[in-house]
Structure 1
Amino acid sequence: MSTTFRTTGRHGYGIKFSPFFPNRLACATCQNYGIAGKGSLYILEETPSGLLQSVSISDWTDGLYDVTWSELNSNIVVTGSGDGSVQIWDTGNHQHPVAVLKDHEKEVYSVDWSQTRDEQLLLTASWDKTVKLWDPQTTVLLNTFVGHTSVVYCCVWAPVLKGSFASVSGDGTLRVWSTQNPAQPNLTIAAHDSEILSCDWCKYDKNIIVTGATDGQIRGWDLRLTRQPLFQLTGHTYAVRRVKFSPHVDSLLASVSYDFSTRLWNWKVSPSALHVLENHTEFVYGLDFNAHVNNQLVDCGWDELIQMYRLHLPPNT
């Protein structure tokens, strides 16, 4: 079962469910496939009848490539832009950002708000090869993490390890960092022989991270044994743009790809996809699970479509 919303004239890049409201989500989009033009932030809600409707649309002068919600304030959303800036939006006053963070020299491709208790910090990753750490409440830049030798496509906080995050890059490495040591990562893994576009941390095991790359491969890594992947999932025929672990089932994850598909996997059971969803006619870029609703996920793509799914999976999938 799926629900469709069209971002007419805007191509989807990033999408995220609200951590506060089960029926609300945010989508970061660009004009002209992100090559040129403006960007727009869509705030959407699922109606009682199951349809998606627009609550607000906020425009920025450049493309918006990723989005994350505040874990502190239900109205605050953060986006990363092609002009190297980071926007903090208040959805109750959506015409202009309440703050703009500027320190990256190139496109900001990933933004993530920390999820551990008592730690309200923001990560941003950029094509300038750096990851930056911010205090989003004071808008102060706290640290810059340097080490990747190519574009940093994604950065994600550890869900349970305070002060830890992971990043992946065009240099083919997965790196695990501590916020206390910006000089060098705690761990570097040569995870793929190609550009790595996405990573995610398992919500149930602090030692497991998954990566998705331009070689079409999805690989899982046990941070205690990094000489070879814990698992490898095959089936995508083009680059894997984003990977996400389920917040409800430890062995379930999802991925989206330039092959126009969204796939679900049970990495403990099979290297082949559990489900293949083919509802897009262009690259699929954004992906997220709903932490409030079991087996609900959403994606967005360059075909101007947001697709929200309610999947009927067998128990203990």
Structure 2
Amino acid sequence: MPTFLTPNRHGYSVRFSPFQPERIACATSQYFGLAGGGTLFLLEVVPENGLVEVACTQWTDGLFDVVWSETDANIIVTASGDGGLQLWNINCPQLPPQTFREHRKEVYSVDWSQTRQEQFVLSASWDCTIKLWDPNRVNSLNTFLGHSQLVYSAMWSPHVPACFASVSGDGTLKVWNSLMPQQPTMSVKAHDAEVLSCDWCKYDQNILATGGSEGLIRGWDIRNMTSPVFEQKGCEYAVRRVRFSPHNLSMLAAVSYDFTTRIWDFKTSTDPLETIKHHSEFVYGLDFNNQVAGQIADCGWDSLVHVYSPRSLLPVSSPLIPSLK
């Protein structure tokens, strides 16, 4: 299993490149994100099961999330504890990044739109707002108000242009049209706890999942949000990040403050198919490799980044064709 140590830096977010399947970006913070600076690591999976550093660059505050551009293989955007976003060109790591500064508190989430009709960035902040950015402009295009507590995550729909979801410490899941920032198009009390993460199903434009601080994952159908369409159990503590598989309709993964990464099939059981415990601290970052079926990466506060293929994800059959087992 390829593993990389981020010395004296604690992992918050990890993402595979959408262009180069062996490339990984990892956002980290010093002193568990409570003080100090941050480091963006660019890593690469190499033959003989290795994970090596290609480049790294420093920021003056902790880095809490990272996302790759969907149009340029050399562009990465990070979110930081000083309320800013940083746009990096990894071909020129010695140059200072372009910065976007409007949030008044920590930016905890950043996402780049995946539909061809638009190329915008979302940022979600502890100042209770979400902002929409054009990476070519210094000022934000819109600010979305509606959450009463800090916003942990905002994620673009991979299917519907201008549509995104957000989750917050106020326990709600909200779905927005970015062209109408005045209010969300729908809202639901998703958990009786803080909601730390959300993600859209890659095969059904109506399904998304939320992860709560009580350890539950809930699935929602935006056509009728009166009650969840599934609920997955298993995490002993907060679900820090939840991700749907890009290779199977009903598979999803989550990382937790209980030091684990877990895999579920929401169509077969409420219990996890597999529990991986190879971290000794909170696990914060999680991502599927879109180009390598069954491969995921995670990172945690123990300063470790792992790239691996859980048994429960291999072999991966077509999401639309039943397995021949």
Normalised TM-score (structure 2): 0.96
5 Å matches for 1:218-237? 218-237=217-236
Give, in angstroms, the shift of residue 141 of structure 1.
1.0
8 Å CA contact 1:58–1:96 kept in 2: the answer is no
CA distance, structure 2, for counterparts of residue 3 and residue 279 of structure 1: 12
Letter in 2 for 1:62: D
How far apart are the structure 1 equivalents of 2:231 and 2:21?
Answer: 32
Q: Matched residues in 2 for 1:225 and 1:97: separation?
A: 46
1:21 equivalent to 2:46? Answer: no
**CA RMSD in angstroms, aligned pairs only:** 1.0
CA distance in 1 between counterparts of 2:315 and 2:72 reads 35
Letter in structure 2 aligned against 1:226: M
Q: 2:320 corresponds to which residue?
A: none
Q: Deviation per CA, 1:65-115: give whole Å up to 9, x if none.
A: 000000011000000000001000000111344300000000000000000
| Letter paired with 1:238 | Y
The 5 A counterparts of 1:305-316 are 305-312=304-311, 313-316=314-317
Structure 1: 5+ residue stretches without partners: none
State the secondary structure of the residue aligned to 2:143. strand
Q: Within 2, Cα distance between the matches of 1:120 and 1:293?
A: 24
Rounded to whole Å, the distance in 1 between the matches of 2:300 and 2:168 is: 21
Please state how far the C-alpha of 1:140 moved relative to its aligned partner. Answer: 3.4
How far 1:168 sits from its partner (Å)?
Answer: 0.1
Q: Is the 8 A contact 1:19 1:69 kept in 2?
A: yes
1:248-259 to structure 2, matched below 5 A, reads 248-259=247-258
Q: CA deviation at 1:138?
A: 2.6
SS at match of 2:11: strand
Identity of aligned residues (%): 55
AA aligned to 1:311 is P
Question: CA 1:63 to 1:143, structure 2 compared with 1: closer, same or farther past 3 Å?
Answer: same
Q: Which amino acid aligns with 1:110?
A: S
1:144 Cα offset (Å): 0.2
Offset, 1:118: 2.9
Match of 1:144 in 2: 143
Call closer, same or farther: CA 1:17–1:122 in 2, change over 3 Å.
same
Instruction: Give the match for residue 186 of structure 2.
Output: 187
- The 1-side partners of 2:294 and 2:164 are apart by 26
Q: Tell me, in whole angstroms, the C-alpha distance in 2 between the residues paired with 1:78 and 1:276.
A: 31
Q: 1:234-277, CA deviations, whole angstroms, 9 ceiling, x for partnerless residues?
A: 01000000000001101000000000000000001100101100
2:309 matched to 1:291?
no
What CA distance in whole angstroms lies between the structure 2 residues aligned with 1:96 and 1:120? 24
Q: Distance in 2 between matches of 1:152 and 1:194?
A: 13
Aligned ranges 1:147-186 → 2 under 5 Å: 147-186=146-185
Task: Classify the secondary structure of the residue corresponding to 1:118.
Answer: coil
The answer to whether 1:101 aligns with 2:100 is: yes
Q: Deviations over 1:18-39 (max 9, x none)?
A: 0000100100000000000000
Please give the secondary structure, in 1, of the residue aligned with 2:32: helix
Deviations 1:39-88 (A, max 9, x none): 00000000022210000110000000000000011000000000001000
Structure 2: segments with no counterpart, 5+ residues:
318-322
Contact 2:66 2:78 in 1 (8 A): yes
How many residues in Structure 1 have an aligned counterpart in Structure 2? 316
Task: Tell whether 2:197 aligns with 1:198.
Answer: yes
TM-score normalized by the length of structure 1? 0.98
Following TM superposition, by how much is the alpha carbon of 1:306 offset from its aligned partner in structure 2, in angstroms?
Answer: 0.5
SS of 1:140's equivalent in the other structure is: coil
